[in-house]
Structure 1
Amino acid sequence: MKLVAVTAGLSVPSSTRLLTDRLAGATADRLAATGARTDLRVVELRALAREIADHLVTGFPGPVLREALDAVTAADGLIAVTPVFAASYSGLFKSFFDLVEHEALTGRPVLIAATGGTARHSLVLDHALRPLFAHLRSVVVPTGVYAASEDWGSAGDGRGGDLAGRITRAADELAALMAARPAADPAADRVVPFAEQLAALRVG
């Protein structure tokens, strides 16, 4: 199964990337426990910022961005993580998903998550991220994960308290939806040439 995690953190190191890795690892572990083979890919939007801006202006994606968009639309499950800017998702995060074709994520299981400096911004999950993926016709798992600065603990290990429980619960939900959904089949969306269609009719 193809699991893709999109992370929009800007700093290095990034708490957004840290949360992404924890969610991706927990989901992959859960899928492995069911016997599923998981192909995990992390798309770091920070590295794609210039190509995203160029695509918005020119309408043509660069090769690295095109490959990232193809990976997202071919995924069996998606993890989307953004830092909170001005009480919403970041502009880089929104710009990337603006480039995803409107129906390309229809029915796709998505786990949403965000990071911020204070717990007061946790409503970004329901007020911004859920509506965005509802617009893209995705199936968003019930548990969204928000991590404020205090959630990481004094040692910054992110293993204690409620955050670990939310990560586990959300990963379980995403893995369950992925396991219940048929694997993405790129051939299903292939345009069949007219001559090939005629040949199939003659055989019938």
Structure 2
Amino acid sequence: MTTRRLAVVSAGLSRPSSTRMLADKLAAATVARLAENGIETTVETIELRDIARDVMNNMLTGFPSPTLDAAIEAVTGADGLIAVTPIFTGSYSGLFKSFFDVLDNQSLTDMPVLIGATAGTARHSLALDHALRPMFTYLHSVVAPTAVFAASEDWGSGDRRVKTLPDRIDRAAGELAALVAVSDRSATVRDPFALAAV
């Protein structure tokens, strides 16, 4: 059986967190879609709140702790990435951005990425396309066409006039699964610093 590695980055700050809930639902739907095609998936979830100090120390010193180094390896060595952030002041959280700032800017090249975000109101949904998508495009990732935004009212929405959150999750998961199915990053990923030294 074919195996793929999926990394999930959640930048939620509270426990429980709607950001983590969305990340988990996106991961479960993607794993299910891959399983339909005979692909087994291992999932590693990184809760950024747990490594926030490590991220900041790396920003200040340029050296990752062993914990942060393991998180970076989990993300850069995966076949696909799900990245979910709460929206603050119309954009991704500072912790979310800081984590991706400490990665080498070539380490996510060709990485299939599914982006998601949460906020109290749907007015912030455009942050996916004006903040997250450009950031991952800059990092040369392959961003799935469907991004998933969940406002507070989406968690209980039964309004069939618009696509419900489960519908959007399923569509996005299908797109990411198709990209991950043909990815071989986990088998071929190389140290970008070693590449730069050549």
Above 0.5 in TM-score?
Answer: yes
Amino acid at match of 1:16: T
Gaps of 5+ in 1: 155-160, 193-204
**Does residue 18 of the first structure (1) align with residue 21 of the second (2)?**
yes
Alignment equivalent of 1:119, drawn from 115, 119, 122: 122
Shift of 1:127: 0.2
Q: Which structure is higher in RCO with an 8 Å CA cutoff and minimum separation 6? A: 2
Amino acid at match of 1:15: S
**Does residue 134 of the first structure (1) align with residue 147 of the second (2)?**
no
Q: CA–CA distance in 2 between the matches of 1:139 and 1:9? A: 23
Alignment equivalent of 1:107, drawn from 76, 88, 110: 110
Q: CA–CA distance in 2 between the matches of 1:65 and 1:162? A: 36
The 3-state SS of whatever aligns with 1:38 is strand
Please say which structure displays the higher CA radius of gyration: 1
Q: CA–CA distance in 2 between the matches of 1:12 and 1:189? A: 34
Alignment equivalent of 2:173, drawn from 163, 167, 171: 171
Amino acid at match of 1:85: F
Count of residues in correspondence between the two structures: 188
Q: CA–CA distance in 2 between the matches of 1:41 and 1:184? A: 13
Q: CA–CA distance in 2 between the matches of 1:115 and 1:35? A: 31
| CA deviations over 1:137-195 (Å, ceiling 9, x no partner) | 000000000000000117xxxxxx61100000000000001112234225755969xxx
% identical equivalent positions: 59
1:185 aligns to what? Answer: 187
1:41 aligns to what? Answer: 44
Asked if the contact 2:77/2:185 (under 8 Å) is kept, the reply is: no
CA 135–22 in structure 1, closer or farther in 2 if over 3 Å, else same: same
CA 48–151 in structure 1, closer or farther in 2 if over 3 Å, else same: same
Amino acid at match of 1:69: I
Q: CA RMSD in A?
A: 2.0
Alignment equivalent of 1:59, drawn from 59, 62, 65: 62
Gaps of 5+ in 2: 158-162
1:199 aligns to what? Answer: none
TM-score, normalisation: structure 2: 0.90
